[in-house]
Amino acid sequence: MKINGIVLVKPKPQVLVIPMGDAKFVLKAKYVENYEGFDKIVPAAVAPEILKPKTGERYIDYRDKKYLEQESIRSQHRYDWIYLESLSATEGLEWATVDLADPTTWCNWRQDLIDGGMPTTYIARIIDLVNTANGFNTELLDEATQSFLASTQEK
């Protein structure tokens, strides 16, 4: 894909160095290009098909309580998986209670950081790191938009 002749490129990996005591830890976050790995482990919920007794008409019930609950859980798993997948670019990173094969443990990544002694301010920086690597950094988008708008006003 191109816009005005410019080929779109994926965001570059991001690096954050965290000083902890006498050590410095290098965290890397990569752009998560697709969700195939996630979809294999956590397939989408399937809304039930309903048959109307009087008309025999069939429809998919996307308001089904169980379906909505499963999709809500899947959405939370996707959020956690993105962070874990992005941070997998960090060499030697090992989680204490996160099992990458078990989605029910993925939400533990923050608590693992806290239990490992990571200050919450650093955890916020790690979240920013992953967001930036995956193009979710609204500050950068807003800056680029403001810069563009300012340049068009000058013309």
Q: Per residue in 83-100, pLDDT tens? A: 999 999 999 999 999 999
- Average pLDDT of the chain to the nearest whole number: 93
| pLDDT confidence tier of residue 63, bands split at 50, 70 and 90 | very high
| pLDDT confidence tier of residue 69, bands split at 50, 70 and 90 | very high
For residue range 95-143, what is the model confidence (pLDDT) as tens digits? 999 999 999 999 999 999 999 999 999 999 999 999 999 988 778 778 8
What average pLDDT score do residues 49-66 get? Answer: 93
Using CB atoms within 10 A of its CB, is residue 107 exposed (0-12), middle (13-18) or buried (19+)?
Answer: middle
Using CB atoms within 10 A of its CB, is residue 97 exposed (0-12), middle (13-18) or buried (19+)?
Answer: exposed
CB 129 within 8 A of CB 83: no
